[in-house]
Amino acid sequence: MKLQAVESSMIEAVGYDETTSTLEVVFNSGKTYRYFEVPKTVYLELMESDSKGSYMLSNVIDCFPYEQVKKRGR
């Protein structure tokens, strides 16, 4: 999954896999989470949102099944 850097005080990068409806989010804390069963419209709205952190809190976090991803090598 290709991650795209975003302008946000909470989020570093976001990726989306349309085939599996998986949203991957790298937070500025360094933690990475994968959210499952996320419609493409939610991903598109997140990317268009002026406040990605607020959008995540309202529309993604605690709204979809998720897992924390082990840290990737940088």
HEC profile for the chain? CCCEECCCCCEEEEEEECCCCEEEEEECCCCEEEECCCCHHHHHHHHHCCCHHHHHHHHCCCCCCEEEECCCCC
Mean pLDDT of the 42-69 span: 97
- 25 bridge partner residues: 14, 33
| Angstrom distance (rounded) from CA 8 to CA 27 | 9
Sign of the C-alpha dihedral, residues 53, 7, 35, 48? positive
Q: What is the pLDDT of residues 28-43, one digit of tens each?
A: 999 999 999 999 999 9
| pTM of the predicted model as reported, rounded to 2 decimal places | 0.91
